[in-house]
Amino acid sequence: MKLSSKSFGMLPNGKNADLFILGNNNQVTVKITNYGAIITSIETPDKNGELTNVVCGFDKLEDYISDQYLGSYPYFGSIIGRFGNRIAEGKCLIDGKEFVGAVNNGPNHLHGGLEGFDKKLWEAETFESDKEVGVKLSYTSPDGEEGYPGNLDVVCIYSLNDKNELSIKYEAETDKTTLVNLTNHSYFNLTGGKEDIKNHDLVMTAKSMTESVDSIPTGKIIPVTGTEFDFSSKKKLGAGIATLETGYDNNYVLDNDAYKLIYVGTLSEEKSGRAMEVLTTQPGMQLYTGFWNPELVIDGKKKFGSYSGVALETQHYPDSPNKPNFPSTELKPGKKYKHQTIYKFGLI
């Protein structure tokens, strides 16, 4: 196991961000910066042993804070908070009082507001043992930040082991009742960006999803069997994308009411031979195939664009605060928010 760090660059406020490099004995290397708690790179070997970065990201901090990137912002690799996904019209009740958040995605509140956890500089502490290496990232969101009540202490623990498991553990505590729905927004491309993700295969255990109109759930849970949203058996993402105007952007119901760490799906790609399993304690997972990903010019080369990566965002359901039949995203004082997701890399 290997663990190192280096400077990643300076933010406009004069503070320095760092880059943490986690490596195991199977040539898997994960790079994480404490700016936005972003996974910038995950290198894994293909069936021929060739190493490639399989997530959308940048080598330099300046690209994450550039006007070009932020102008059509896809949240590459970041931790999303306080509330991942959408809240209808940016309004809901928290402990009986109206919350009004920024409307930053059409008529809705998205991913924590104008400046969520994805744009914060987190405190970092590394750790290592014979079994794993990792970095513990901490951030305190002050009472009233983006309209949310309560001082919220958040911890995100990234770790890598020799089973090729990248574990993400989330913890949070508050001094006032608030909302918490944390997720990681990595976009995976198992070809390393050589092709788009339409030829990726996906299989999921989910048998249902939240019905939505204009990206906001109606409150109904609907079956996916026999529809283009059905991934109960392995299917190419492109098969469904061909029937959907802007591809997939849907929340799947994982039937995980007990919040156990369970297997929920596998993403794979035949040419590279790479595969990635997903395990989580969360009740839902957003499948987003990146239709709106911007095409960027990085170091003189065009990169990314529509369908350049697929996000598998483990989470609670969108608009949960306005849907009493959905799993609650309220966190009260004295209680601890605690969840885990594992992305396990291997070969078909």
Active site residues: 185, 313
Q: Six-digit token pair at 98?
A: 């109206």
Residue whose C-alpha is closest to residue 29's, from 268, 345, 348, 347: 345
Residue-wise burial string across 19-56, b where 16 or more C-beta atoms lie within 10 A, e elsewhere: bbbbbbeeebbbbbbbbbbbbbbbbbbbeeeeebbbbb
For residue 100, give both structure tokens. 């009004």
